[in-house]
Amino acid sequence: MPDALDTLQSLTSLTVHNATPALEQGVAAIKAGQTTFDLRNVAAVDSAAVAVMLAWQKAAQDAGVQLQVKNLPANLQSLTKMYGVCSLVSGALSACGQDDPHHH
């Protein structure tokens, strides 16, 4: 369906090498009305991915919408958990692989 909103399924990596275009693609998708990003095809990540995802959430907040990021790869879940921001970047505790009883 070519007219479908961009859910970012085309992303295969989210690293320092493509952080800026990925950020811009995500912000454009949010501005176009997208509220769910699917990262199922992302295989390579680094800490830049966490920064991009936080910026996407900020853009969504500024647009007055709630962004859900689903199908985070295990390596990205590990990074977001290590930084303590999994539920912030995903928009849902369930995307973090577990409920977080310590989240306030």
Task: Provide the residue ranges of all domains of the chain, joining segments of one domain with +.
Answer: 4-84
pLDDT above 90 for 95 = no
Query: Could you tell me how many residues make up the chain?
Result: 104
pLDDT score for 58: 96
For residue 102, what pLDDT is reported?
46
Handedness of CA 41, 47, 50, 52 (dihedral sign): negative
Q: How many CB atoms lie within 10 A of CB 23?
A: 18
Name the pTM for this structure: 0.84
Contact 27, 59 (CB under 8 A): yes
**pLDDT above 50: residue 104:** no
Please state the rounded mean pLDDT for residues 5-31: 92
Would you tell me which CATH number, out of the four given (3.20.20.450, 3.30.750.24, 2.40.30.10, 3.40.50.300), belongs to the domain 4-84?
Answer: 3.30.750.24
Q: pLDDT over 70 for what percent of the chain?
A: 83
Q: Using the predicted structure, report yes or no on whether residue 103 has a pLDDT greater than 50.
A: no
